[in-house]
Chain A
């Protein structure tokens, strides 16, 4: 299937979703006023991907900032990956945060609490 790629900006993250390898990346800042508008094409792409996912899918989340409207979108992305997992495919989310960034660490833990896919915490050394 075609890959999904969106370049980042000062308010929106880079989205790099490779459908051939199952290796996904969200990186940068995610603080648009209307996050749904930004993420909607990705939602649609993911809906198609989870119909026939790779045996292993790894999503790396390397966000510096994200607003609460983006956090809703992240939940939606993770929920789509839950579907692939429910059908017997391997899914892992790698959550990255800077060493002293307790808020970003806690955000990762929030998702761990409500999402069934394993979320692995990764510290970026400062």
Chain B
């Protein structure tokens, strides 16, 4: 494990303002820290997508005190970035999410591009806007396999953690 600098971190309730606040802080800090505009944009873009992905999948019905979300954006010693997120999802969503990420992880760059394009072309626009495009986009821009874990809490909720790496 390389030493890392944490740029932003958040743990708490996914209140309405949390996405906005986190993005504003990350945007400000990245514009100072990251001189490569290409990399800065990529990191910010992926951060937007992972946070909105949390928002779309988050189990808002869970009244559990532990039902916080977390997000960390950090920079490693090689100048690359890592985004770590964690949130509760409804357990019945786990199978679908797992299958989706496993499928994307099994594809090469060109295949991910094709999948993105066909999903953009055919995917239904739901009120959430998603249609699975978000996770494909995250993988495509990161260019690296997505690491994830699900922990079942036996109460209908599972904790979903996702790690996205972005090379310098």
Q: What is A's interface to B at a CB cutoff of 8 Å? A: 10-11, 31, 33-36, 64-65, 67-73, 75-76, 98, 100-104, 106, 110, 113-114, 126
Contacts and interface: CB of A to CB of B under 8 A. Distances in A.
Nearest to A67: B48
A68 B130 contact: yes
Given A33-B52, A101-B38, A68 B134 contact: yes
Q: Interface size class for chain B?
A: 20 to 34
A110 B127 contact: no
Contacts of B10: none
7 contacts: A36-B125, A67-B48, A69-B129, A71-B120, A72-B120, A103-B42, A114-B121
Interface string B124-155: 01011111011001000100000000000000
- Main SS class of interface, A: helix
Contact of B41 (A36, A101, A110): A101
Contacts of B19: 33
B11 interface: no
Contacts of A35: 129
Given A33-B52, A65-B45, A76-B125, A102 B38 contact: yes
Contacts of B23: 31
Interface in B45-80: 45, 48-49, 52, 55
